[in-house]
C-alpha cells in the first residue's frame, strides 16, 4: 500500500470509529433516559413497569386531594374515567393544580400500585390540556363505548 492510501485508510477508519462511537453513545444515553407515558387504565392493567421512571397523566378526581396536616405530603387520584391511580407526592404543587384539571406526573410506580411522583406538571393555561392526557381520555372513551356519559 502506498503511503497516501495508507493515510486515507487511517483517516477513514478513524471517522468510522468516531461516528459509530458517537451514535452509540447518543443512543445509549437516550434509551436510558426516556420516560414512557402511561394512562391510568394501562397502569391498572399492569402494563406499566414497577420502580422505573415513567410518566402518568389524567384528570385529578374531584375531592380526592388530601393534604397532610403537618408536612408537605399530598395524595390524590388521577383518572381517565375508566380507571384510577393513586398518586403520592411531597412538595409544592404547581399553581394550576386543581381538582378536575389534567396533569402529568413523573415518578415511579411502587409495588402497591401507588404512583410515587417526583414531579407534577400542570401547564400555565387554564384551557390547556396536556395532549397525552387528551389522547389517554380519548382512548379510554373508545375502549368503553357502552358507558353513558
132 binds other proteins (CB under 8 A): yes
How far apart CA 49 and CA 59 sit, in angstroms, is: 21
Burial class (CB in 10 A: 0-12, 13-18, 19+), 94: middle
22 binds other proteins (CB under 8 A): yes
Where in 73-102 is the site for other proteins (CB under 8 A)? 90-93, 95-96
The three three-digit cell numbers of residue 142, written as one number: 373508545
113 binds other proteins (CB under 8 A): no
**Half-sphere exposure at residue 89, Cβ-oriented, CA atoms within 13 angstroms:** 23
Interface with other proteins (CB under 8 A), residue from 67, 143, 144, 147: 67
Q: Interacting stretch for other proteins, rule CB under 8 A, among 25-33, 44-52, 79-87, 108-116?
A: 25-33
Interface with other proteins (CB under 8 A), residue from 2, 71, 112, 148: 71
| Beta carbon of residue 148, minimum distance to other proteins (angstroms, whole number) | 28
| Beta carbon of residue 122, minimum distance to other proteins (angstroms, whole number) | 10
| Beta carbon of residue 14, minimum distance to other proteins (angstroms, whole number) | 11
Spell 114-144 as b/e; 16+ CB within 10 A means b: ebebeebbbeeeeeeebebbeebbeebeeee
Q: Which is nearer to other proteins, 22 or 147 (CB)?
A: 22
User: Where is 54: in which H helix or E strand?
Assistant: strand 53-60
Interface with other proteins (CB under 8 A), residue from 37, 64, 83, 114: 37
How far apart CA 39 and CA 33 sit, in angstroms, is: 20
How far apart CA 7 and CA 135 sit, in angstroms, is: 56
| Beta carbon of residue 88, minimum distance to other proteins (angstroms, whole number) | 15
130 binds other proteins (CB under 8 A): yes
Amino acid at each position: 500500500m502506498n503511503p497516501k492510501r495508507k493515510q486515507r485508510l487511517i483517516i477513514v477508519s478513524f471517522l468510522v470509529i468516531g461516528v459509530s462511537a458517537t451514535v452509540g453513545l447518543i443512543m445509549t444515553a437516550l434509551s436510558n433516559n426516556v420516560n414512557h407515558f402511561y394512562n391510568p387504565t394501562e397502569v391498572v392493567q399492569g402494563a406499566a413497569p414497577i420502580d422505573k421512571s415513567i410518566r402518568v397523566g389524567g384528570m385529578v378526581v374531584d375531592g380526592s386531594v388530601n393534604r397532610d396536616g403537618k408536612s408537605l405530603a399530598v395524595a390524590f387520584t388521577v383518572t381517565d374515567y375508566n380507571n384510577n391511580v393513586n398518586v403520592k407526592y411531597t412538595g409544592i404543587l404547581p399553581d394550576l393544580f386543581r381538582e378536575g384539571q389534567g396533569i402529568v406526573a413523573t415518578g415511579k410506580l411502587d409495588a402497591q400500585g401507588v404512583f410515587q411522583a417526583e414531579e407534577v406538571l400542570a401547564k400555565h393555561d387554564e384551557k390547556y390540556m396536556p395532549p397525552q392526557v387528551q389522547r389517554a381520555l380519548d382512548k379510554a372513551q373508545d375502549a368503553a363505548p357502552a358507558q353513558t356519559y
